[in-house]
Structure formats: C-alpha cells, structure tokens
Amino acid sequence: MKILVTGANGQLGRDVVNLLLRQGHEVFGPTRNELDITDQIQCGFIISKIKPDVVVHCAAYTAVDKAESDCVTAFQVNANGTRNLAVLAEKCNFKLCYVSTDYVFDGKSSVPYLEYDSTNPVTIYGKSKRAGEIMVQTLSSRYFIVRTSWVYGLYGNNFVKTMLKLGTERNEIKVVSDQLGSPTLTIDLARFIAELIPTEKYGIYHASNQGQCSWFEFAQAIFDEAGMKQVSLLPCSTEEFPRPAPRPAYSVMEHLAIRTNGLTDLPEWRSSLKTFIGHYCN
C-alpha cells in the first residue's frame, strides 16, 4: 500500500513509519514544513501528488496545559487540520486513520469506557480532539478512529523517560496516585494500526496496552524494571499538583471493537514496559 503518515517525526509517527517500511509498504512521512495540515491548499497539493491509499493521521496539538490558553491553535490543528484531511479522504478516495485520545472522556467513570460511550471532554485539548473525531465521522466514510492513552516510546518526551531521568537526579519523587489509566507503548500501537488499516473494519477503536495502574504504580514499575532501587517514591493527590488543564481521574478504555472485529489486542502494559526498559536502558 501507499501510505502517508502525518506527524511522522513525532513519538508515535516515527514508529508507525519505521514499522510500515519494514512491512514493505511505500511510506511517505513529510515534515511539518512539507505538509502543514492546517493549510488546505498545501494538503490538497501533497495528497494529489502522492495519491495515498491510506493516511495515518498522527499529527496533533498535544500540549494539554498550553491548549487552555491557546484554544485557537489547538482547534486549528486538531479540528481544522483533521477536517482538511477528512474532506480529501472523501474526494480522493483514501482511508483515513485518525489517532485520538482518552481525553475525549471526562474521567468520571468507574468502569472502562466503551467505544460508543458518550464523550464529554473537559479540557481544550480533549474538546479539540473530539472536534477532530466529529470531522472524520461526518466528512469521510472510510475511517478508523483510534483512541489511545498514556503514550510512551523511544522518540520524544514522555513519562517513562522523565522518571528515569529524575531517578538519577533525586532520591525522592512524588507521583500522583489518584489518576488511573493504561500506559501504551508506541510500537504496540503502531503494530495495531498496521494490522487495522488494510482492512475495511471501519469505526472507532480503543487501543492501549491492557490492564490499568495509577501514575504512582506506573512509576514504581519503571524503577523496578530499571533496577533503580535507590529511588524513594511518595504517592500524592492530584490537588497537590495543580495544572492549568484538569487530568481525567479515570482513563481506562475497554477494547470491545478490537475483540468484536477479531483483531489482535495490545499486550499487557507491564510486559511492554519491561521490553521497553530492556531496550532503552541497555
């Protein structure tokens, strides 16, 4: 297949590009300068030139806190940029895979969110990503929406790398213990996307590593796997770490669509963390 990946230099995008290339696909990963998704004319030019079979849309405005004071840019990228691709998907007849987020939910549930549960984003970031979902659903007909959570990987900044760095600088670290979610390794998510896009099993998918933990438990596991016994972790509440954008207290998502469509679920989060730490720290 001929596949265009937006956000190809990002944390997830780089793993998606590398994996698809290894699988023998013809992959295009333009830089932000080469493809500004908010520029409708440039999008049309690049798409007409490449003529992709699939666009995997990883590009996004992901600065959760900054979005609270930069609403216009967040919506320009996450809503309008996605609209531009959705319109072209219908016009040029390619499949569109849009990577979304657990932030489309309000985090007030006590049971894992299903793909078709009502969304209720409470942050600008979450609202802009939900707006992107609506653009995809209303303007294109051959689409996959893949919601994920707590992403980390080899590229870019993330919680795992931050903890490992702090563990070498401090003897004591406070980590929030009252937010629950599912850490997701980018290569696992990339493998799922690579399995999904050749199919015609369109719709919404929840794709995170299986299982759940708090950020505190995630940090404990990171230091355990890295053999950093010297670090003292202290649990704390969300209130002790106020942020401009509220974090969802509960972000666990049920993978119903993966199971009902006979696709391969992502591995359990702790096993993926162990694999990542083994590669990253050696």
CA distances from 240 to 174, 177, 225, 236 (A): 10, 11, 27, 7
Strand partners, 175: 235
Question: Of the candidates 220, 203, 186, which has an alpha carbon nearest to the alpha carbon of residue 256?
Answer: 203
Is 113 noted as a catalytic residue in this protein? Answer: no
Helix axes 82-92, 124-139, angle to 10 degrees: 10
Question: Of the candidates 133, 149, 64, which has an alpha carbon nearest to the alpha carbon of residue 101?
Answer: 149
Identify the active-site residue in 98, 103, 125, 152.
Answer: 125
**Contact (Cβ atoms closer than 8 angstroms) between residue 101 and residue 61:** no
Q: Which residues are catalytic?
A: 125
